[in-house]
Amino acid sequence: MPVPFWGNGNWAVPHRLHHQSDMAMERQPEEALLVPDTLAEDTTVRTDHNRSNPRPRSPFTHLAVLTTVLVPITLLPYIVARRNTSQLRRRLNEYAVIIARLQRDSKTNTLENRLRDDRFTGLLTEIRQESRNNNAEIRQGLEKLRNDTEHQKVAQATTDNVHRSELQQILEETRRTR
């Protein structure tokens, strides 16, 4: 006769009576079944044995339980880490674009500064050269003015001497004529 296990709803039939209990169930209605004492003892022993030592579980059941416990424990940090990694990669890519722009701008500014420096150096060289040329022209002009002034002084002195001598002559003639 089937004996219920506690809690799981399965029916257990003692091994040697399995065939007999099926035949007894077919012959008598459920209320009229009588269990002999030997069967009752054997069933209680078997039932107590089943209660203290539950039926061994299959490796697939253990694997399923282990998987349902371990998968969330391992996947949750992985998902969080992957999301953080993807955010960090996105930021890194943004920073790489910014750095590339800054490098390009820096190169452009450096080239512009070199061009300005070259122009400034060229202009400074031109100004120095023009200053040297102007100084040379001024020196030449001053030298020419000195020479001209000396010539004019000499010429003026000569002219003055000539005029004096003429005046002296005229004065002497006027004195004589008087």
Asked whether residue 176 is domain-assigned, the answer is no
pLDDT tens-digit profile of 9-53?
Answer: 444 444 444 444 444 444 444 444 444 555 444 454 455 555 566
pTM for the predicted model, two decimal places: 0.40
Asked whether residue 44 is domain-assigned, the answer is yes
* 173 has a pLDDT exceeding 80: yes
Asked whether residue 23 is domain-assigned, the answer is yes
Asked whether residue 28 is domain-assigned, the answer is yes
Given this model, what pLDDT does residue 58 score?
86
As for how many domains the chain has, the answer is: 1
Spatial neighbors of 46 by CB under 8 A, at least 6 apart, are 3, 12, 14
Q: Which domain holds residue 25?
A: 3-56
Asked whether residue 160 is domain-assigned, the answer is no
Asked whether residue 45 is domain-assigned, the answer is yes
Asked whether residue 37 is domain-assigned, the answer is yes
Asked whether residue 10 is domain-assigned, the answer is yes
